[in-house]
Chains A and B, each alone.
Chain A
Amino acid sequence: MHLENNIQLFTAKDLETDQEVRWCPGCGDYAILNSVQKILPELGRSKNEFVFISGIGCSSRFPYYMDTYGLHSIHGRAASVATGLKLTRPKLSVWVITGDGDSLSIGGNHFIHTLRRNPDMNILLFNNQIYGLTKGQFSPTSEIGKITKSSPIGSVDSPFNPLALSLGANATFIARTMDRDAKHQQEMYRRAYYHKGTSLVEIYQNCNVFNDGAFEVFTDKSQKPLTALFLENNQPLLFDEGRKGIILDGLKPKLVATEDVSINDLFVHDEGDKTKAFILTQFFDEEEFPRPFGVIYVSKEKATFDDLMNLQIESTEIADKAKAFKELLYSKNYWEKK
């Protein structure tokens, strides 16, 4: 009812608020904020149609720095608040800002259930593999053996593989990106926005204070070619500047030198193929495989939760509600006392 048809143009600058950004200098969150601010004006919507909803954690301060609608909720619950809003205001563009502690620990339940229901919204998961706001405890994505304040002789907690978890929860869009690559990030956010359904983007985000360099192996220019694999739909899986590739032996991925195989034998990325997506999410524990970045899986088949629910409401909508309500009250046997 409040959405206007005529789009009001705005720029990235217009998205800045009067609130001072309070992340630590050098934090990866800045780059993410910039990238989101960069792409929003390109999406053909007015500023008032965007809503950012966050939980608790460093990343969850994000809404305060966006001059859109924003709600900073409680720990782990952003996806639930966002679901209630999206169901009842389906035209809004709803973004959930969350972290590894927020969504994979305390909010794990809402995370998986939101993905399975598939409301049309975008979840940006800032994964820094640490609890930053509470000053440095291991998180559900920290590696085994991690030394932190709460694990002084090493964590014995096995970490989540967030994308495998999401796929297991029947997510319809999963992607991975990194704070150090603005262009790639922006592409992922755009793709997330245009996907109808819940889009999950896992962002490798450096916490330079409590977990500096956690992702350096993927982001550092010299190591990146060997460790990061940038996915392109319908393109063979290549890395190390094309020198290396991956083939599928049945369902088993294998590393090969490209000179040893024909280009036609390589594993070709297919965003719509869930089996291949599953294989790609498993490039996680095995160190020999590079870490995939990009859109790993998209399914356009599943209807969105907000569409389904609103369809039920619209298809049964009662024109004269007051009249129908009266009939409802008198629908059971009633009697007159004279």
Chain B
Amino acid sequence: MSTHSIIELENVVIKFAGDSGDGVQLTGNQLAETNALFGNDISTFPDFPAEIRAPIGTIPGVSGFQLHFSSQPVLTPGDKYDVLVALNAAALKTNIKQLKPGGILIVNSEGFDSKNLRLAKIEESENPLINGSLDAFKVFQIELTKLTKLAVKPFALGNKDAERCKNMYVLGLVYWLYNRGIDNTIAFLTRQFKKNEVIANANIAALKAGYYYGETTEIFLEKYLVKAADTTKGLYRSINGNQATAFGLLGASIRANLPLFLGTYPITPASDILHELSKHKGYNVYSFQAEDEIAGVCAAIGASYGGSIGVTTSSGPGIALKTEAIGLATMLELPLVICNIQRGGPSTGLPTKTEQADLLQALYGRNGECPIVVIAACSPSNCYEMAYLAVKIALEHTVPVMFLSDGYIANGAEPWLIQDLETMPPILPKYISSNIANAKYQPYLRDENLVRSIAIPGSVGLEHRIGGLEKENITGNISYDPLNHELMVKIRAEKVAMVANTLPLQTFENGNETSKILIIGWGSTYGAITQAVSELQNEGIDVAQIHIKYINPLPKNIGELIQPFDKILVAELNNGQLINLIRANHLKDAKGINKIQGQPFQIIEIKEAIKQAL
């Protein structure tokens, strides 16, 4: 039996890094899932290489997976690592700066031979395993390939297949180190390789060997335990932002009892929404992978016109292409949901990195006066609710709604307290049916919220024409009348503004109107800002925090909440976008906390910026 002592920790941030072919994502996901099932609160951050098949062993080929698990509520994947697992020299070089002093570094020593050093552009004499540069860490060198091959020998695999099991070996070791069982991963491997039992069993053998390696060797003197977190009671699952977005859209379609039509074109990091929804045709889901971004959105508009829920998904460059069509939907006053899973821009920019730089595009990026509703999800699981609400607003107000997410929350996962469909608000679309039409149907006649009633093609007696040319109020006939145009521009703007009547009022996440300073954020920065603010409050610094989910229209009381503050900070992963809105609409001398590195905020960065501003 093990004589290792067990040390209890509140939380651990671990990073797996290796070559993109090393199965790093799968390894990280397994540890995340096992810890979540155990009851830890978790947050994950996969960091993919930009190239699909960058040369093995090189810096561009490094793939990473960061996991934060804790016995306390977790809001971010963590700033610095307690543990780094580096499978080769390039992985170490890319990540070592983020490892805390005294942190655990597990390295595959075979990944530091001459060839790997050369590929990572490290001089032989600078080999970090021998030059003393890692002295600040607890380094554990393991001959991972050799040990793995030994473990899977009975299965007589080819060299490559045998080597491929090394991620499971290292996962087994980590499971042992953090006092977790391996059953969940065994079940996963059995499922995953059910068509190839030999591979399944070899991986399981590697997993067990890694686990027993910790147990039987003396290289680790202690192991660790992170207890279950004390989060809200209920049923949880792990979910990432793109999955949650797909489920939110699907749930809304079921609740509204209307088909869901996704017209889209593959693009990073939005494609997983298409992948997920295309699995669910049986729910009356049309997934149309179009020839381009424009066809995707236009087909969605055609489907909306036919009474389905038209949705298009993309990222910044694709949204740019859809711009004219979004204007058409605004003119037609048809429901349309546009999901922008933001990435670093402009142009092709940083496809696999995160950024919040499309906010002004979402608000203003169309010709003419063309306001649409803009909402933003603040965490992976929040994408579910926000995507659902995007559909609800689009259908009930016959407007295009832009749903903003980004690469960070789209790929990041966290536990989700599952929201059953019955607990979501009802959706009441604005269609008129054929049998009430004795009077002539007026397509642009409006209700008290300025919303028009839509007659679906096929309805008897409601034949009418709509289009992108300016409409005459009420009749919808083409009109070039100057005053009518001004009236229609104002009506369309007012209609979007009136959506605020149905939105929840803004509240403080932390602090209140008497706090010394206010920090405002939107979208995926929620976790980092919230964590930073609560840490500051624990340090006795009184900070108020507002996190905006509804950006256009803004919640009605936002001005009221902001007015008392002399010091206002706006934190965004861009060069200053929401801040312009705050400054222009509320005449406040707000200051920006901005980061444009393709990476999310670290908690420490926010804390320091707030301290400096005080």
Contacts and interface: CB of A to CB of B under 8 A. Distances in A.
A54 B469 CA distance: 12
A325 interface: yes
B197 interface: no
Interface string A40-74: 00000011110101100000000110111111111
A87 B465 contact: no
A82 B302 contact: yes
B458 A80 contact: no
Interface string B458-469: 111111111111
A237 B595 CA distance: 72
B306 A335 contact: no
Interface stretch (A174-182, A200-208, A313-321): A313-321
Nearest to A68: B463
Given A2-B458, A74-B325, A318 B288 contact: no
Given A313-B282, A337-B39, A2 B460 contact: yes
Interface residues of A, number: 63
Contact of B286 (A17, A77, A309, A318): A309
Main secondary structure of the interface of A (DSSP, over half): mixed
A39 B349 CA distance: 53
Interface string B286-328: 1010111011101111111111101000000000000011011
B237 interface: yes
Nearest to B327: A74
Contacts of A88: 259, 261, 286, 302-303, 306-308
A146 B304 CA distance: 42
Contacts of A86: 302
B233 A73 contact: no
Given A8-B460, A53-B302, A92-B457, A333 B184 contact: yes
B433 interface: yes
Given A110-B291, A113-B295, A321 B302 contact: no
Contacts of A47: 463
A155 B456 CA distance: 45
Contact of B283 (A73, A85, A110, A325): A325
A19 interface: yes
A83 interface: yes
Interface in B441-489: 456-469, 477-478
A2 B295 contact: no
A85 B305 CA distance: 7
A84 B261 contact: yes
B290 to A, nearest CB: 7
A166 to B, nearest CB: 16
Nearest to B418: A329
Contacts, number: 210
A84 B302 contact: yes
Contact of A330 (B235, B296, B310, B433): B235
Interface string A2-30: 11100010000000010100000000000
Given A63-B467, A325-B250, A84 B234 contact: no
A83 B478 CA distance: 25
A252 interface: no
A322 interface: yes
| Most A CB within 10 A of own CB, among B232, B298, B306, B417 | B298
A144 interface: no
A91 B458 contact: yes
Interface in B57-106: none
B305 A81 contact: yes
A72 B460 contact: no
Given A2-B460, A47-B463, A325-B251, A19 B477 contact: yes
| Most A CB within 10 A of own CB, among B33, B39, B250, B283 | B283
Contacts of B259: 88
Nearest to A331: B237
A324 interface: yes
B285 interface: yes
A336 interface: yes
B420 interface: yes
A54 B467 CA distance: 9
Contacts of A69: 457-458, 463-465
B36 A335 contact: yes
A54 B465 CA distance: 11
A86 B458 CA distance: 12
A96 B468 CA distance: 16
22 contacts: A4-B460, A8-B460, A17-B465, A46-B460, A48-B434, A64-B478, A71-B466, A77-B294, A84-B299, A84-B300, A85-B305, A88-B259, A88-B261, A109-B291, A110-B298, A113-B291, A313-B284, A322-B254, A329-B247, A334-B237, A335-B235, A336-B235
Interface of B: 33, 36-37, 39, 184, 231-239, 247, 250-251, 254, 259, 261, 263, 280-286, 288, 290-292, 294-296, 298-308, 310, 324-325, 327-328, 332, 417-418, 420-421, 433-434, 456-469, 477-478
Sorted nearest first, the 7 A-B pairs with minimum C-beta distance are A72-B467, A84-B302, A84-B299, A80-B298, A316-B282, A70-B465, A69-B457
Given A316-B282, A325-B254, A333-B237, 9 more contacts: A2-B433, A46-B460, A54-B467, A77-B298, A80-B294, A84-B306, A84-B310, A86-B302, A87-B299
